[in-house]
Amino acid sequence: MSFDLKNKRVVVTGGAGFMGRFVCDKVAQRGAAEVIVPRRAEFDLTTEFAVERLYATAKPDVVIHLAAEVGGIGANRDNPGRYFYANMAMALHLIEHARRIGLPKFVQVGTICAYPKHTPVPFKESDLWEGYPEETNAPYGVAKKAAMVMLDAYQRQYGLSGAYLLPVNLYGPWDNFDLHTSHVIPALIRKCVEARDSGQDHIECWGTGSASREFLYVEDAAEGVVRATEVLDEPIPVNLGTNMEITIKDLVELIVKLTNFQGEIRWDSSKPDGQPRRCLDVSRAQERLDWKAQVGFEDGLKRTIAWYEEHRDAVVSGGGRA
């Protein structure tokens, strides 16, 4: 069934965030009557009262739930309890109150961290329950996966129409460039640019560089989310990715080249590598959403580096975000 966003009232949680701003733009381009972005200062979505008040005031036709609390390996390791609670509480209250008001459509964005630590590559959606997630990501990943179970249960019992997406690691303009809480690409870009400009002779990187990752340009991910909103009405998991895998070692060397940093790369093997490999099977997204990533990886990195260079002062003064 097709869900036409034209003239709809759309709530986008996390709409002021990294992917959220692109999702909001694309929803507006589809002709939505209003795009509502709840801000934490007014709506703490981890509390039921705030969620109930959001639904009462926004009167949405669809909710796209992007909001999350998560960081890189270091932040995930430091905040396992908070990340489980915050992500579980938001989904729990938002989905339950969607049921209560008879919301026509609920879209939940999950995380690739929900996959088992040793998932066969490429990750297929059918592998989600074949083991426990990588330990540093598990509290966040399990909370997001529980939201998928809740959506499925609510569709079967109450008829709530939903969609569930699993985007791979995102990167691009407006990312978080804080060195402690950011993901690998923005952290490396900032490290390399600052080391280049200050004349440092080396940068330090966590782990051994042997782990591999797949990355998706943020605007491609946003288009996948909006397509799912339009064409999916059952919360089966759908991967959003590129099916291109790169080792962290090769990634670092590529960013070093693109930022023109001339120094040495030093690896701190006492720090964790995280999940050994990540690479997605994206055939379901192509079949069900008619969606495929459009931005090549090196081109996407060049765009992201150029954006960071242009907004660097604002990023540094803003604690990692422009």
pLDDT tens digits, 185-242: 999 999 999 999 999 999 999 899 999 999 999 999 999 999 999 999 999 999 999 9
Q: Tell me which H or E stretch contains 205.
A: strand 202-206
> How far is Cα 320 from Cα 191, in angstroms, rounded to an integer?
12
- Residue 33 neighbours by CB under 8 Å, 6+ apart: 7, 8, 9
Region at 320 (left for phi over 0; alpha for psi -120 to 50; beta for the rest): left
Whether 4 maps to a domain, the answer reads no
Is the separation of the CB atoms in 84 and 141 below 8 Å?
no
Catalytic residue among 55, 83, 115, 140: 140
Residue ranges making up the domain that contains 50: 9-171+217-243+275-294
Whether 281 maps to a domain, the answer reads yes
Question: What is the CATH number for 238?
Answer: 3.40.50.720
Is the separation of the CB atoms in 240 and 216 below 8 Å?
yes
Whether 200 maps to a domain, the answer reads no
- What pLDDT score was predicted for residue 316? 86
Q: Write out the two tokens for 12.
A: 């986008």
Whether 202 maps to a domain, the answer reads no
Nearest residue to 243 (alpha-carbon basis) of 288, 290, 302, 292 = 292
pTM above 0.85, yes or no: yes
- What pLDDT score was predicted for residue 123? 95
- What pLDDT score was predicted for residue 1? 61
43 by Cβ neighbours in 10 Å (0-12 / 13-18 / 19+) ranks as: buried
Q: Does the annotation count 308 as an active-site position?
A: no
pLDDT along the chain (322 residues), means of 10: 92 96 98 97 97 98 95 82 97 98 98 92 96 93 97 98 96 92 90 96 94 96 98 96 96 98 95 85 97 97 98 89 86
Whether 225 maps to a domain, the answer reads yes
Domain count of the fold of the chain: 1
Whether 191 maps to a domain, the answer reads no
Return the amino acid letter for 101: I
Whether 42 maps to a domain, the answer reads yes
> How far is Cα 55 from Cα 39, in angstroms, rounded to an integer?
14
Nearest residue to 92 (alpha-carbon basis) of 67, 57, 128, 111 = 67
Radius of gyration for the chain, computed over Cα atoms and rounded to the nearest angstrom: 19
- What pLDDT score was predicted for residue 73? 74
Distances from the Cα of 188 to the Cα of 17, 59, 104, angstroms = 20, 41, 41
> How far is Cα 185 from Cα 228, in angstroms, rounded to an integer?
26
The residue to which tokens 């005031």 are assigned? 57
Whether 28 maps to a domain, the answer reads yes
- What pLDDT score was predicted for residue 253? 97
